Structure 1
């Protein structure tokens, strides 16, 4: 995947836990590879439950404990033009992937994947209704999943750049 004008959208249900955390982690990983100016990253939710809200306090705490910041982020819903605008649209779980597939025009369906597709597959469990440990586990899972995706797209053997 060439980085010229690339874009990655990270999606969960309400855009207050998994997807903003994934956005912060992916931005940091891109920065570490010298790609922060080459790849546009954003996050959104399949539902508008929390539009305009800051990420969940527990997500902010877990991210901060791992060295990431969610400061300044505000929840938004996936927009119709996101399907054309982004090269990859990564859902946190199968339920949100199904919702994206339902809304996505047929010509862009191949952009839709799960965040963990490059790390063994499966869902990133929603920690919203659980305790702090679920948020800590979410951060670790996202770090692994997104690093695996970046390794696939920008192999380290090539210096991390295409």
Structure 2
């Protein structure tokens, strides 16, 4: 079983959107028994809350479920549990490394999946309000990530 953890600041916008999108793509490919996906935040403001209404709206518009998703914070045990820890921006990565403590966390930055894009971080729609832009980036990046996982991990 391959596992992916998406990380953003509050775990209500970017990372749950990525979790839902990748889960949807995994289900479409019939790989739900081979790949699991979760998301977490580096801040504790929204623990237990559903994704942001902007995230829910864009996922609904694209027929993607976010059922039973609730914000949580990154835990040190995540470094043992997940094969891929994908951070939405450099600040999230720095905070994740602090949680890792002595563990050398291998992180993947989401925009590294899309090297042709000028943006190097996924903009936070909590502040920008541009959920459509974030969805387009996440949708494209999840395609790349899924192909990478299939190539590297799934038999």
**Structure-2-length-normalised TM-score:** 0.90
Per-residue CA deviation, residues 102-145 of structure 1 (Å, 9 max, x unaligned), is 222454422x11122222172111010233xx101111110101
The answer to whether the Cα contact below 8 Å between 2:85 and 2:108 also exists between their aligned partners in 1 is yes
Q: Provide the secondary structure at the position in 1 that maps to 2:94.
A: helix
Q: Provide the secondary structure at the position in 2 that maps to 1:140.
A: helix
Distance change (3 Å), C-alpha of 1:161 and 1:21: same
**Which residue of 83, 86, 101 maps to 1:87?**
83
In the TM superposition, 1:16-55 aligns within 5 A as 16-55=12-51
The answer to whether the Cα contact below 8 Å between 1:83 and 1:105 also exists between their aligned partners in 2 is no
The answer to whether the Cα contact below 8 Å between 1:8 and 1:42 also exists between their aligned partners in 2 is yes
The answer to whether the Cα contact below 8 Å between 2:12 and 2:49 also exists between their aligned partners in 1 is yes
Give the unaligned 5+ runs of structure 2. none
Give the unaligned 5+ runs of structure 1. none
Question: 1:63 matched to which residue of 2?
Answer: 59
The answer to whether the Cα contact below 8 Å between 2:74 and 2:99 also exists between their aligned partners in 1 is no
Q: Provide the secondary structure at the position in 1 that maps to 2:6.
A: strand
Q: Provide the secondary structure at the position in 1 that maps to 2:113.
A: coil
Q: Does 1:113 align with 2:108?
A: yes
**Structure-1-length-normalised TM-score:** 0.86
Q: What is the CA RMSD across the aligned residues, in angstroms? A: 1.9
**Which residue of 122, 133, 138 maps to 1:137?**
133
Give the length in aligned residue pairs.
Answer: 152
Q: After the TM superposition, which segments of 4 or more aligned residues of structure 1 sit over 2 Å from their partners?
A: 105-108
Per-residue CA deviation, residues 43-62 of structure 1 (Å, 9 max, x unaligned), is 11011110011111111001
The answer to whether the Cα contact below 8 Å between 2:6 and 2:18 also exists between their aligned partners in 1 is yes
In structure 1, how many angstroms separate the alpha carbons of the residues matched to 2:124 and 2:12? Answer: 11
How far did 1:74 drift?
Answer: 0.8
The answer to whether the Cα contact below 8 Å between 1:52 and 1:74 also exists between their aligned partners in 2 is yes
